[in-house]
Structure 1
Amino acid sequence: MNRPGVGFAARPVAGVAVTLAVVLTALSGRYGFHRDELYFLVAGDHLAWGYVDQPPLTPLLVHISTTIFGETPMGIRVISTLSSALTVVVVALIAREFSATRRAQTLAAICTAVSGFVMGVGHLASTATYDLLAWMTITLLAIKLLRTNNPRWWIALGLAAGIALENKYLVVLPLAALLIAVLITGPRSVLRTWWLPAGLAVAALIATPNLIWQATHDWPQLTVAGGISEDDGTENRIMFVPLQILQLSPFLVPIWIAGFLNLWRTPTLRWARPIALAYPILCVIVLALGGKPYYALPLLLVLIAAGCQPTINWLTAARTRSRRTTLAIGLTLTALTSALFTLPVLPASAVNFAIPVNAEQGEQIGWPELTTAVANAWHQIPEDQRARAVLFAGNYGEAGALTKYGPAVGLPRPYSGHMSFYDWSQPSDMQDGPVLLVEQERAPAYEANFTNCHQVGTVDNGVNADNEEQGTALVLCTGTKAPWSQLWPALRRYY
């Protein structure tokens, strides 16, 4: 049985994790809610075993976080912050599995904490935040399975995979990549055991409630995924390699390359070859599906964990100050650039500098301003007609913002045909008055469902942030061309 070389560097790793948590907490209240977070707030008020676009775990965690810590940008992100801190610890544990010394484990924790991807997902409450921790945990358990050849680890793997499936189905991708890698390189003995189907049964049991929900709702999540691939697949493939480098950090590239070579070439780590091979296999799968480049990033963190011991060896081989200085400068630049492009450190008025690299920065700005603009347009409707009027948002971010901020400025509950908003509520046929449409871009085919439409306002976030909602058109129509019950199915949007 292979064993890790040394004990766990608990104190320094915990120090790195706590430092990351402190930084994320200090900045979590700047800017505002992200569009996805506004959607999760409403989803948390409609807890279910599934949603059109995702399983139930993230809305549940958001509901728990805001119930305990408050319905604010800071409150919604507490569990996300803790999740990212735990991710740092798990990556250091993975490094230990590869016989890394305490210094190398600490380096693995630092590299994880300063990487752009971990900072970015740690700042927001998102499915990717919890998915990253799930992937790291599953990989750690898979590594233990391969290292010890103890088939009982399949049960723990099944438990982790089942919970991960209640957050996002993407977890099947690294699992598929690892399975293919084991079939290619071995050891295939870990597959020839009844503990494997037992682990699969555990995963299936935990995932069953959401799978039943999806099956009874005609698998809408597959429709959403297909739409994402169709809309963004070509761009995702073109940007795949550049974003693999940029979204972690260019300065970490030598470390993860060293990690791949370490797992592939080191005789004592021969058992870990499938872990190295799983990354390129996962890249091929993601490229074939047209998935987003960040889908493959978690396995790069595993390679970074594997590359930290060779990096420490490189530092100590020459015992020269220049090598230590090079590493220190690289990590410092990684931390600074990651923070600049993934955390709200810039004034909101300067966010356009970061948006070309990380568009999510801009999606946290301008929601109160959008709501105010909508309220100004709404109050153009004669007061005696407002009881029968409808406020209709074009996407879930707009609908979430209007739900959150609208009551304070006299707006009614918004309706939307986007994602699960379609299922949560629809206008009554008695609401046969004017309709105020919130449209990112005016669409004649869309407006053809309504009568006498004309633009009565434009959204301006006040800082010229070049995000998706800047310039959104507010279009007032005198009514619908058919009762809402007949019109509603045509207004459904999955992406």
Structure 2
Amino acid sequence: MRRIRPEWSVAAALLVLLLATSSQYGWHRDELYFVAAGRHPAWGYPDQPSLAPLLSAGLYRVGGGSLVVVRLASALATATTVVLVGAIAGLLGGTGRARLLAASMWAVGAAALITGHLVSTATFDVMFTVAVTACIMKALTEGRPNWMLSAGVLLGFGLFNKMVIGVVIALVCTALLVLGPRRPLLTWQALAGALFAVLGALPYLLWQSAHGWPQAKVAASIAGDENWIGVIPTQLVLVSIFLVPFLGAGLVRLLRSDAGPARAFGYAYLALLVLILATGGKGYYAAGLLPVVVASTGIVTDMWLTHGRRRLRTALVGTAMGVSLVLNAINGLAITPAAQLQHSGINTLNHEAGEQVGWPEFQETVRTAVRNLPPDQQGQAVVFASNYAEAAAVQLGHDLPSAYSGHNAYASWPPPSSATGPVILTGFTPGDTVSRHFTGCQVAGRVDNGYGLDNDEQGAILQRCSGPIGDWTAIWPSLIHYD
């Protein structure tokens, strides 16, 4: 009998939507950073392992600098996640319609649309987490321990992208040891898979150890007492607020004693939320386990539709998903004109939208500041930026000086040579702690994206300085910061 896999159609439709809207604004600040970091190949960086930077830099080179080509990676990753959500619903005993519902609910969600639109570590983290989950689920439900080996291999790749997946899968394994079934975890395939996972994490851990564990400083700057306020609300909007009743029913189904092997994943999700709350993490860290809840939701919704008033219930589900798609697409994709992002409130709801606007204007402001230097100094000028995005935008621009920064990965790369000439400071306030390391500084411009859009670079001040006070190498430790 032919297997029904409707999730493939949903994934294909989402892929087309993501690619059609991928270039309407411009580069996101983190995407610029990934490309710049990937041009300095390493086993790790202060704030992340190597996968996203190396992949972004490779696609940038293959595509000749095309944003669409670079974002093809995130679109394909998100489409793959949709397929896996439908497959997990099938492993949990769902019908073809349940698979369709589960895949569609994830595809219309905010997490899928936002992470599918942009290249981010979260995009690949969700994909790898769902892939590992699907392999473990297959081993549990079909009694095929070889899938535990596949889970370990995929976990290794996931750890090469982001270390959060290690914590998530550790919680899943702990829940399985407590609730059962335990046997798949005690096979040689599971042990071999664990070894592959360790191999995936080892390069980054060794790099961090050799560089004094800068990731700990990054994590400390991100964590905050106020983060806990948004953890639970974030769960409500990662898919859609309009689908929360169905998602709640799906989670309850996972937690029931008759849920079988899937029960461990429901409790692992709750444990992950508690851990995020306790450590001051961000709510979207739980996105990797949420697709299992969505898979269960597809089954619950499918059963609910078989009861009385089927047309009404079908209309309610269809309306909820349709409204979710429209609102999440407007908020997460490059659909609204850039000139309306601020006044429409989209930039407030999704700050990442605004971070894709204004980089050409930023580059032109820097270019103008350099051109205003005496002709004999223009070729010797360097840019020192307040953050990695500004430095990367200059580095990837045309006819711009060499760019440096003390922010995250840029702090690990060599500072300018002492023979350089004037310095263009970007994003620093005159007289602040960084500016005081330079002499002869004068305001040389102010960034304006042209839309009045309140993003991180709008209104940033450029200063033209004669040079550093003393040697670059001597002041460099004072210029480093991680966040």
Q: Which moved more, 1:325-334 or 1:220-229?
A: 220-229
**Aligned partner of 2:352: which letter?**
E
Per-residue deviation, 1:442: 5.1
Moved over 6 A (4+): none
| Residue of structure 1 in register with 2:314 after alignment | 324
**Distance across 2 between alignment mates of 1:258 and 1:322:** 19
Change (3 A) 1:141 1:443: farther
Matched residue of 1:317: which SS? coil
| Distance across 2 between alignment mates of 1:320 and 1:349 | 44
**For residues 266 and 107 of structure 1, what CA distance do their matches in structure 2 show?**
24
Q: Which has the higher mean CA deviation after the structures are superposed, 118-127 or 373-382?
A: 373-382
Aligned to 2:341: 351
- Contact preservation (8 Å) 2:140, 2:181: yes
1:9 equivalent to 2:4? Answer yes
User: How many residues of Structure 1 are paired with residues of Structure 2 in the alignment?
Assistant: 481
Deviation at 1:479? 2.2
Q: CA deviation at 1:183?
A: 3.4
Match of 2:243 among 252, 267, 286: 252
- How do 1:42-191 and structure 2 match up within 5 A? 42-191=36-185
- Per the alignment, residue 445 of structure 1 pairs with 433
Q: Quick one: which amino acid aligns to residue 281 of structure 1?
A: A
**Match for residue 402 of structure 2?**
413
Alpha-carbon distance in 1 for matches of 2:429, 2:95: 55
The partner residue of 1:237 within 222, 228, 244 is 228
Unaligned runs of 5+ residues in structure 1 are 1-5
Alpha-carbon RMSD across the aligned residues, in angstroms, is: 1.8
**Among residues 360, 367, 372, which one is paired with 1:380 in the alignment?**
372
CA contact (8 A) 1:69 1:78 kept: no
Cα distance in 2 between the residues matched to 1:262 and 1:7: 28
Indicate the SS of the match to 1:364.
coil
Q: In the alignment, residue 487 of structure 1 is paired with which amino acid? A: I
1:433-488 deviations in Å (ceiling 9; x for gaps): 33211016556112111123332211000011111110101122222211111111
Check if 1:474 corresponds to 2:462. Answer: yes
Deviates more, 1:110-119 or 1:236-245: 236-245
* 2:385 matches 1:393: yes
C-alpha displacement of 1:106:
0.8
State TM-score, norm by structure 1. 0.93
Q: How much has 1:372 moved relative to structure 2? A: 0.8
Residue 270 of structure 2 aligns to a residue whose secondary structure is: helix
Quote the Cα distance in structure 2 between the aligned partners of 1:206 and 1:263: 30
Structure 2 SS opposite 1:456:
strand
Q: Quote the Cα distance in structure 2 between the aligned partners of 1:82 and 1:440.
A: 38
| Partner secondary structure for residue 98 of structure 2 | helix
| 1:308 and 2:294 correspond | no
SS of residue in 2 equivalent to 1:275:
helix
Higher mean alpha-carbon deviation, 364-373 vs 65-74, is at: 65-74
1:377 is displaced (CA, Å) by 1.8
Instruction: Kindly indicate whether residue 270 of structure 2 is the aligned counterpart of residue 276 of structure 1.
Output: no
CA distance in 2, matches of 1:443, 1:314: 64
Q: Which of 224, 237, 254 does residue 263 from structure 1 map onto?
A: 254
Q: Tell me the TM-score normalised to structure 2 length.
A: 0.95
Aligned to 1:371: 363
In structure 2, distance between residues paired with 1:18 and 1:70 = 25
Q: Secondary structure at the match of 1:294?
A: helix
Please give the alpha-carbon distance, in whole angstroms, between the structure 2 residues aligned to 1:7 and 1:300.
29
CA distance in 1, matches of 2:424, 2:235: 42
1:492 positional shift: 1.3
Residue type of the partner of 2:246? Answer: I
Distance in 2 (CA, whole Å) between partners of 1:443 and 1:465 is 26
Rounded to whole Å, the distance in 2 between the matches of 1:106 and 1:292 is 30
Matched residue type, 2:124:
Y
Deviations 1:191-236 (A, max 9, x none): 444444322212112332332222222222222222211xxx2232
In 2, the alpha carbon distance for the partners of 1:479 and 1:290 equals 40
Match for residue 27 of structure 1? 21
Instruction: Determine helix, strand or coil for the equivalent of 1:318.
Output: coil
Unaligned 5+ runs, structure 2: none
Q: Distance in 2 between matches of 1:440 and 1:15?
A: 49
Greater shift, 258-267 or 366-375, is seen at 258-267
Whichever residue aligns with residue 440 of structure 2, its letter is N
**Is the CA contact 1:9–1:102 (under 8 Å) kept in the aligned structure 2?**
yes
Deviation at 1:358, TM superposition (A): 1.0
